[in-house]
Structure 1
Amino acid sequence: MSEEWVASADWLAEHLDDVAVVDIRDAWEYDGIGHVPGAVSVPFDDFRAEGGPEGMMPARDHWADLLGDAGIERGDTIVAYDDTHGVFAARFLVTALYYGHDDLRLLDGDYSAWLRDHETTDDAPDVTPTDYEPGDAREDVFVDADDVLAATDDPDAVVVDTREPEEYAEGHIPGAVNLDWKEVVDDETRGLKPRADIEDLLAERGITPDERVVLYCNTARRISHTFVVLRWLGFPDVAFYEGSLTDWTERGHPLE
């Protein structure tokens, strides 16, 4: 299929029968406001790590049960959406990638974009549960603090802080550049800014496809959104630090 990693509402409308659509909003929004036809409901709180700190991945068995109950197969193309510029949906997609699901799309412009030109429904689809089997964790993409530290000394790598500028100014990993995830979103359309505009913005910060990009944040959904955008732009080597700055400093690493 085309439109890898980011799918327009028009593209989704043409492929509704060929993809698994996942609604990440709260259950009351799915039921009370309506949803994309055929979409299944997997609210954000359902796949956050149970009993663990924010940002941790859910347990493998829990993830398998969630996707199996939603009727999703390992070979499905998953298109996820929310109503907050895709930041929560991006976390769902990154979790799916972590557990070996490769065919993933973020709905560009979130549910509001779908509403503008396409029909919605209040009817939940008939779901046939599956025996979803997650793959092995993607250690090539999800890195630890030692990998981040190595990247700070690597001339062919750039460490990117996806928090707000005020947070970055209060302290960040030495050498990291700041890219607030909202900078790539158009407030009017709610979708991503044009590809060329985002590429120019990234280049201004020294973030280019010929470098290894290592992302970090204190909130998993914000870093997830930037991760999806970079993969959509064709960046071949994007790493995701699942730990927080608290984890970073507790390991004895400094901030700048």
Structure 2
Amino acid sequence: MTDEWVVSADWLDANRDGVRVVDVRDAWEYDGIGHLPGAVSVPFDTFRSEDGPVGTMPPREDWEGLLSEAGVEPGDTVVAYDDTHGVFAARFLVTALFYGHENVRLLDGDYSAWLREHETTTDATDVAPTEYEAGDPVEGVFVDADDVLAALDDPDTVLVDTRDPEEFEAGHLPGAVNLDWKELVDDETRALKSRGELEEILAGHGVTAEKRVVLYCNTARRISHTFVALRHLGYPDVQFYEGSLTEWEAAGHPVE
């Protein structure tokens, strides 16, 4: 087993029997287009909610139901994928972290990339349901608006806005730097760029491993991918503002 946050298609192909693979595309894609052998379907819209504990996190009982139906145990290593460069799959993994599930991995690339050299199937995956019990958020990952307010003037913290430049220019948190999450993705491979390229891009935005990094976007979807990428690179202090700009503006906090 690997401790990496991001795993290659070859690694996953060789280790499918030892992990729980989760497909977060729409159900019609899973059923009609095909999926990775052994993957279970947990569509993105089933774990996004306006009625959860914070941001768009699903209620605890809904999350437990989804993972129970998918046959996931709390100790399982979960590998998630989508067909959108990994951004929706990363959101699934961050949701798992919010509910205490630490063994999470992102498939480097997506379904379209997998198709190039690996087999797929339209056969249904046999799943034995479990009685999944969620835990508490993984320590040191999630921050709230008060934490972000306290970090605005901290020289050792870099606040990162992962939206596109036009959104950033329309209004952003004071002192934030703009790092569009797509800058970290290679359009050809549909996976993360090389480690050297990633480190150069991040350093160019002042995002270094020596800094405390706090991420936000609009509704915490796009920051999920950047969070996983930074943890993959070994950044030790990366934090996730689940409420993001939606909560920030609703509370009347300052925007530049």
The two structures have a TM-score, normalised by structure 1, of 0.96
* Larger displacement relative to structure 2 (24-33 or 239-248): 239-248
Superposition deviation, residue 160 in structure 1: 0.3
Superposition deviation, residue 246 in structure 1: 3.5
Pair 1:27–1:250, CA change in 2 (3 A):
closer
Listed one character per residue, the Cα deviations across residues 143-184 of structure 1 (whole Å, up to 9, x for unaligned) are 111111111111111100000011111111111001000000
Partner of 1:183: 183
Q: Superposed, which structure 2 residues align to 1:17-32 within 5 Å?
A: 17-32=17-32
Listed one character per residue, the Cα deviations across residues 172-210 of structure 1 (whole Å, up to 9, x for unaligned) are 111100100000001111111001100111011110111
Distance 1:66 1:81 in 2: 16
Superposition deviation, residue 139 in structure 1: 5.6
Pair 1:169–1:50, CA change in 2 (3 A):
closer
> Structure 1 residue runs of 4+, over 3 Å off?
50-55
Q: Superposed, which structure 2 residues align to 1:62-211 within 5 Å?
A: 62-138=62-138, 140-211=140-211
* Larger displacement relative to structure 2 (143-152 or 95-104): 143-152
Distance 2:250 2:143 in 1: 17
Query: 1:48·1:54 contact (CA, 8 Å) conserved in 2?
Result: no
Letter in 2 for 1:8: S
Superposition deviation, residue 137 in structure 1: 2.5
Distance 2:71 2:249 in 1: 41
Query: 1:54·1:219 contact (CA, 8 Å) conserved in 2?
Result: no
Partner of 2:225: 225
Listed one character per residue, the Cα deviations across residues 58-115 of structure 1 (whole Å, up to 9, x for unaligned) are 0111101100110011111100000011111010000001101111111111011110
Pair 1:63–1:106, CA change in 2 (3 A):
same
The two structures have a TM-score, normalised by structure 2, of 0.96
Letter in 2 for 1:97: L
Pair 1:137–1:145, CA change in 2 (3 A):
same
Structure 1 residue runs of 5 or longer lacking an equivalent are none
Superposition deviation, residue 50 in structure 1: 5.2
Same amino acid, percent of matched pairs: 73
Q: Secondary structure at the match of 1:239?
A: strand
Pair 1:246–1:80, CA change in 2 (3 A):
closer
How many matched pairs? 256
Distance 1:134 1:254 in 2: 35
Pair 1:54–1:141, CA change in 2 (3 A):
closer
Q: Secondary structure at the match of 1:148?
A: helix
Distance 1:52 1:73 in 2: 22
Q: Secondary structure at the match of 1:220?
A: coil
Query: 2:54·2:243 contact (CA, 8 Å) conserved in 1?
Result: no
Superposition deviation, residue 51 in structure 1: 4.3
Distance 1:247 1:21 in 2: 32
